[in-house]
């Protein structure tokens, strides 16, 4: 009788272990996870996606593969996500601005950022910066404005490309300053930075992260940043609001997105995994080293946030006069 009782206890204990293991497994992202990135390897979205994937491998039993599908302002990766099953095993890391911008600038992009995606979390935040090079020698926006008025035929701003958030922020900057600015698009941020430092273009609009290494080096002077608060690595640079141009305030974020139709339980598992990754000191340090901010808490309403960002970027696109391809 004692033996039977002991055996029953062992069976109950074994069942408990099995149930706990099953529950733990259900909290993983799945057997094999594919993370899509719509930009080339080595770029900012790719670096964030790979840091997230590295940490995800540590917190789950999943095999995580990062797949780059560059082109068409991220549309190729977005299309791949929308053509995949909504099972939560294919997701994408996408800058929120790109997700809401692409349908406004590429006519064949028929998707809707709110309707066709499920947001699984914000994994990093960042702002943009406006910097002057040696061509103008400006150290403030007021100085650049004065220089631009005196050198209107040379006043221009460089960006990583036409149709990028930086392009449309430039249109808004032009209106805020009340001067004419010629847009000079490049194939990527590094090329734009190089030509502004070389004096070929007087002004640069890029992400804050690309400006940090040049702080105090004498070649680029960051005039303002679009974040809501000052960047600790650019402590003397005013925010757009401090510079008297609150309409330029813009905080972008890398979102983890799945295809709409994902089972609510699966989406909940993903959101729990995002929280685990963001709580990791290793991941937080990686983002800090890249110059990104890890969100302290997730937005309460992602659809509402995306809708408001879509409206803000629509105004900027209209200001630019950009013709959809």
- The domain that holds 276 is classified in CATH as 3.40.190.150
In which domain, by residue range, is 94 found?
A: 31-126+252-320
Count of the separate structural domains present in the chain: 2
Q: So what's the pLDDT on residue 306?
A: 96
Q: Are 260 and 121 found together in one domain? A: yes
Question: Tens digit of pLDDT for each residue in 115-174?
Answer: 999 999 999 999 999 999 999 999 999 999 999 999 999 999 999 888 899 999 999 999
Give residue 27's pLDDT: 41
- Statement to judge: residues 75 and 114 lie in one domain: yes
Tell whether 281 and 258 lie within a shared domain. Answer: yes
Tokens of 141: 């926006």
Domain's final residue, options 230, 248, 266:
248
163 and 58, same structural domain?
Answer: no
Residue 76: inside a domain, yes or no? yes
Read off the pLDDT of residues 8-48 as tens digits, 9 standing for 90 and up.
Answer: 444 444 443 333 333 334 444 447 899 999 988 888 889 99
Say how many C-beta atoms besides its own lie within 10 A of residue 153's C-beta. 7
Q: Please provide the average confidence, as pLDDT, over all residues in the chain.
A: 88
pLDDT per residue as tens digits for the range 176-196: 999 999 999 998 888 899 999
Per-residue pLDDT tens for 241-263? 999 999 999 999 999 999 999 99
Give yes or no: residues 275 and 242 share one domain. Answer: no
Task: Kindly report the CATH number assigned to the domain that includes residue 187.
Answer: 3.40.190.10
* 207 and 64 together in one domain: no
% the chain with pLDDT above 70: 90
The predicted structure's pLDDT at residue 15: 41
Residue 1 lies in a domain: no
Residue 16 within any structural domain of the chain = no
165 and 213 assigned to the same domain: yes
Last residue of a domain, one of 215, 248, 281: 248
pLDDT of 324 reads 65
17 in a structural domain: no
Residues 237 and 265 in one domain: no
Residue 4 pLDDT? 40
């Amino acid at each position: 009788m004692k033996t039977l009782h002991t055996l029953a206890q062992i069976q109950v204990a074994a069942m408990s272990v099995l149930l706990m293991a099953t529950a733990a497994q259900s909290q993983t992202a799945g057997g094999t996870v594919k993370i899509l990135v719509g930009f080339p390897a080595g770029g900012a979205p790719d670096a964030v996606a790979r840091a997230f994937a590295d940490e995800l491998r540590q917190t789950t039993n999943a095999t995580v593969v990062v797949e780059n599908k560059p082109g068409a302002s991220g549309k190729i990766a977005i299309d791949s996500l929308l053509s995949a099953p909504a099972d939560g095993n294919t997701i994408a890391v996408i800058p929120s601005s790109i997700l809401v911008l692409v349908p406004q600038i590429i006519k064949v992009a028929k998707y809707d950022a709110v309707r066709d995606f499920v947001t699984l979390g914000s994994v990093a935040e960042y702002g943009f910066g406006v910097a002057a090079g040696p061509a103008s020698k400006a150290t403030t926006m007021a100085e650049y404005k004065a220089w631009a008025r005196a050198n209107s035929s040379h006043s221009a701003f460089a960006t990583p490309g036409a149709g990028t958030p930086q392009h449309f922020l430039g249109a808004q900057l032009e209106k805020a300053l009340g001067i004419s600015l010629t847009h000079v698009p490049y194939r990527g941020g590094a090329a734009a930075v190089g030509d502004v430092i070389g004096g070929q273009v007087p002004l640069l609009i890029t992400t804050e992260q690309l400006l940090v290494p040049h702080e105090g080096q004498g070649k680029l002077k960051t005039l303002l940043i679009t974040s809501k608060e000052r960047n600790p690595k650019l402590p003397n640079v005013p925010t757009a609001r401090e510079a008297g141009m609150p309409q330029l305030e813009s905080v972008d974020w890398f979102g983890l997105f799945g295809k709409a139709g994902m089972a609510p339980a699966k989406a909940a598992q993903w959101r729990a995994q995002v929280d685990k990754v963001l709580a990791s000191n290793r991941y937080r340090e990686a983002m800090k080293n890249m110059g990104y901010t890890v969100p302290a808490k997730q937005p309460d309403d992602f659809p509402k946030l995306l809708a408001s960002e879509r409206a803000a970027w629509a105004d900027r696109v209209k200001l630019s006069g950009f013709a959809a391809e």
